[in-house]
Structure 1
Amino acid sequence: MILLMYEPVPDHLQKLKSIAPDHEIVTAFSEEEAQRLIENAEIVLGNRYFLQSLPFAKKLSWMQSNSVGVDLILKEKQSLVDKSIILTCARGVYDAELAEHTIALLLSLFRSIPVLRDEQNKGIWQRHRLSTLHGSQCLIVGWGSLGQKIASLITALGGKVAGVRNQPDDSKEGEMMLYGSKNWRQQLPLTDALIICLPKTPETYHFIGKEELRALPTSAFVVNIGRGGTLDDMALLEAIQGGNLAGAALDVFEEEPLPATHPIWKESKIFVSPHVGRSLEGPDFRWQPLFEQNLERYLRGEALLNVVNYQKGY
C-alpha cells in the first residue's frame, strides 16, 4: 500500500497510479485515518500526520518528505532507524525560489531598500551613499545545492563568492574557493555579506554566534535563508544594536512565528521576512515530480534521490 499524507490533484494521482498499477494508493484525510492506514503501508508520501502515525507503522519501508529540512521528523530518528525506514527529503526542489529570495534580501540590504521605503512613508526625499552587491565579497555557509544556486546568481551580478562546507580542509570547485572547518572563520573579516543556508542539526545549532559575528566588519550584512537556530538571533540583534554590523535580513528564526513582542521587530536594521523564501503553493506542488520520480526508482529497485543520512541529519 502507498499512503498519501496529502490530497493529490487528479493528474498527479493518475501519474502515481500509472507508475504503481499493482499497488493500492490511499489518502489520509485526518490524523485518525493516517494512524489506521499506516499499519499496512509500505510507502508514505508527504509529511502531514506522519509523526502522529509513525508509532502505528508495521510494514513501512520508505517515507518521502515534502520538506527540504527534516529536523522535525528526525526527532523520531530512533524509531525510524529501529523500523528500518528509508527517509528521503525534497532537497533541490525549492533551490531556485530560495536563491531568488536570497538575492532579493541581499539587494535590499546593499541598496537600503527598507530605509528608502520608510522614508517614502514619511515623505522624506533623501539621497544616500549606497553599497553594491557587484564587487562585494560574499561567504556562503552551507555548500549544498541551495548554496551553489545562490552562488551562481551572486556571481552573475558581479559579486565574489566563497563557500563553507562540512569538511576539515579547504578545496576548490572550478574557480570557487571552498573553506573547511579549519580555516573558514579566518575569512570573516574579509566578508561583506554572510549568507547562512545550513540544515538544522545538533551540530549546526548557533553555528553563527557571538564570536563569528564579532569577526565580521562593521559594514557587513547577514542573511539567514536556511533554518532557524543555526544563527544566534539575539547575538545578531546585540551586534547590530551595538553598531558592530550594518544590517541583516532573516527569513527564518529560532522561534516561529516570531512573537509580536520580540525586539527584532523594532530593529530597523533587521529586515524580517516571515519564512517566505519557500512561499505558499498548491494545490499543485513543486515536489510532485520528485515524488513520481522517486516512486519509479523505488519500484525498480534503484537508488532513491535525496536519501537522508541519519548520522548527519540531512
Structure 2
Amino acid sequence: MGESSAQGIILLMYNPPEDHLDRLRSIAPGYEFRVATSENEAIRLMPEAEIVLGNRYFTQSLPFARQLKWMQSNSVGVDLILAQKDLLSQKGIVLTCARGVYDNEMALHALGLVLSLFRSLHLLRDEQLRHSWQRHRLRDFEGSRCLILGWGSLAQKIAGYLTAFGGRVSAVRNQSHDSEDGEIKIFGRNSWEEQLPLTDLLVLCLPKTAGTMRLVGRPQLEKLPATAFVVNIGRGGTLDDDALADLVRNRFIAGAALDVFEQEPLPSAHPIWTIPEIIVSPHVARSLEGPNFKWFALFENNLARYIGGQPLLHQVDYARGY
C-alpha cells in the first residue's frame, strides 16, 4: 500500500456504526480512518497506523507496527495485551484501557451474587428444579464484615452498594501502610491477611498481574471463618480455584460465587460444577453489547485528548500491569 497523504492513520479493530465514525472523523479531521475486519487485514494495515482503537486482532498485528504511538483497549483488564509489554515498550507505544466503563453493571452483578449467597437463592433454585419444598438457612446481610481486595473504581462502586445494604466494608490496596478513604478502612499488603479471620464476605476485584497471581490461595482461604463467602468479580487466576473448591466442598468455607476463573471456559470436569454452594457465573458481569458499545464515548473522549495534546485517560503502567 502506498503512503497516505493524511496527517496520520487511525486503525479501528471493530466495525464502527456510521454515527460513531462520523464523531471520530469530526474529532480528528486530518486523519484517515481504516477498519480491520480480519486478522490478515489488521496485519496489512498495522505498519502505517499511528493510533489503534479496539482490541480485536491487536496482539496478532502488533509485531508489524512501525509508526504506532497509542493503542486504546476496549477492555478494563489488559493482561493479554501486556503479554507483549516488552514489545510495546520497545516501540514506545502508550496503552490505555477502558477503566470505569463497566463499573456500574459489574458492581450490580457482584451485588446480585452476594445477595444470592446470603439468601441461598442458588440452593433454593436447585430445590425448585427437583420440585422439592425444602427450606434453607437464609442469612441477613446487614452488619456483615466485607473485605474487598483491590481499591480501583469498580471496588469503590461495589463498596457503595454493599454499604447501602448494611455491610461493614473495608478494602485492601497495594501499599505498605494502612490508611482510610472517607469512612472505608484501607489495609496495606503487610496487614490485610490479619483481617481474614474477621471476614464474612471476601470480594476479589484485582487486576491480573505477576503480583496478584493466586494472591488468594489455600493459606489465605484457610484463615476465613467457616461461615464466610468468597466472590471473584475481578480477573481469573488471582484466586486458587482448586483450593477454593476443596474448602467449600469440605465445608471449611460456606460458599462462593465466581464470575472469572483460572481457566476459561471452566472445564466440564472441574469439581466446581458439582458443588451446590458455588455459583458459576460464566464471565458475564460485563454484558454482551453491540452494535453501540459503552466504550464508544471513551474512545471519542480520549481521541479528542490525543489530538488536543492532553493527557490520555486510563493510561496503563507497564511496570504495575494495570
Code of the aligned partner of 1:313: G
Q: Secondary structure at the match of 1:195?
A: strand
**Matches of 2:59 and 2:131, distance apart in 1:** 51
Query: How far 1:127 sits from its partner (Å)?
Result: 3.1
Could you list the structure 1 runs, at least 4 aligned residues long, displaced by more than 3 angstroms after superposition: none
Q: Any idea what SS the aligned residue of 1:202 has?
A: coil
* Aligned pair partner of 1:223 in 227, 231, 234: 231
Pair 1:65 & 2:73 matched: yes
Cα shift at 1:218: 0.1
Kindly report which structure 2 residues correspond to 1:26-41, keeping only aligned pairs within 5 A, or say none: 26-41=34-49
Q: Which moved more, 1:12-21 or 1:115-124?
A: 115-124
CA shift at 1:172, angstroms?
0.4
Q: Is 1:20–2:28 an aligned residue pair?
A: yes
- Residue identity matched to 2:58: F
Give the drift of 1:28: 0.5
| CA displacement, residues 96-125 of structure 1 (integer Å, 9 cap, x when unaligned) | 010000000000000000111111112222
Aligned equivalents of 2:61 and 2:135: distance in 1?
58
Q: CA deviation at 1:279?
A: 1.6
Q: Which stretch shows the higher mean deviation, 180-189 or 128-137?
A: 128-137
Query: 2:290 aligned to 279, 282, 285, which one?
Result: 282
- Paired AA for residue 146 in structure 1: L
* Amino acid aligned to 2:212: T
Q: Which residue is 1:194 aligned to?
A: 202
SS, match of residue 297 in structure 1: helix
1:242 shift after superposition: 1.9
Q: Which letter does structure 2 place at the counterpart of 1:111?
A: R
Q: Provide the secondary structure at the position in 2 that maps to 1:162.
A: strand
Deviations 1:173-224 (A, max 9, x none): 1111000011111111110000001000011000000111000000000000
Q: CA RMSD in A?
A: 0.7
Could you tell me how far apart the structure 2 residues matched to 1:174 and 1:299 are?
36
| 8 Å Cα contact 2:102/2:286 also seen in 1 | yes
Counterpart-to-counterpart distance in 1, 2:264 and 2:183: 38
- What is aligned with 1:209? 217
Deviation at 1:259, TM superposition (A): 1.2
2:103 aligned residue: 95
Secondary structure at the residue paired with 2:131? coil
Give 1:38 deviation, angstroms: 1.0
User: Which of 82, 102, 127 is 1:74 aligned to?
Assistant: 82
Partner SS, residue 301 of structure 2: helix
- How big is the shift at 1:33? 1.0
State which of 97, 110, 117 in structure 1 corresponds to 2:118. Answer: 110
Distance (Å, rounded) in 1 between the aligned partners of 2:169 and 2:128: 33
Residue of structure 1 equivalent to 2:250: 242
Q: Which moved more, 1:186-195 or 1:126-135?
A: 126-135
User: Is residue 170 from structure 1 mapped to residue 178 from structure 2 by the alignment?
Assistant: yes
State the distance in 2 between where 1:173 and 1:280 align.
33
**Equivalent-residue separation in structure 2 for 1:100 and 1:14 (angstroms):** 33
1:159 to 2:149 alignment: no
Residue in structure 2 matched with residue 257 of structure 1 by the alignment? 265
Task: Answer whether contact 2:123 2:136 (CA < 8 A) is retained.
Answer: no
The normalised TM-score by structure 1 is 0.99
- DSSP-derived class of the 1:29 partner: coil
Confirm or deny that 1:45 pairs with 2:53: yes
Unaligned runs of 5+ in 2: 1-8
Q: 2:146 aligns with which of 138, 151, 156?
A: 138
**2:306 is matched with which residue?**
298
Q: Give the SS at the match of 2:127.
A: helix
Q: Letter of the 1:293 partner, please give it.
A: N
User: Which position in structure 1 is the counterpart of 2:3?
Assistant: none
Deviation sequence 1:66-123 (CA, Å, 0-9, x none): 0000000000000000000000000000000100000000000000001111111122
1:6-42: CA deviation from partner (whole Å, max 9, x where unpaired): 0001111010000001100110111111111111110
How high is the TM-score relative to the length of structure 2? 0.96
Distance of 2:242 and 2:290 partners within structure 1: 34
CA deviation after TM superposition for structure 1 residue 129, in Å: 2.9
The alignment-based identity, stated in percent, is 61
Question: What is the aligned partner in structure 2 of residue 266 from structure 1?
Answer: 274
Output the CA distance in 1 between the equivalents of 2:134 and 2:273: 24
Residue 167 of structure 2 corresponds to residue 150 of structure 1: no
Looking at structure 1, the residues matched to 153 and 64 of structure 2 have their Cα atoms a distance apart, in angstroms, of: 34
1:110 partner amino acid: F
Query: Distance in 2 between the 1:182 and 1:307 partners?
Result: 27
Instruction: Tell me the SS of whatever aligns to 1:38.
Output: helix
SS of the residue 1:116 aligns to: helix
Q: Distance in 1 between matches of 2:268 and 2:190?
A: 39
Q: 2:91 aligns with which of 69, 73, 83?
A: 83
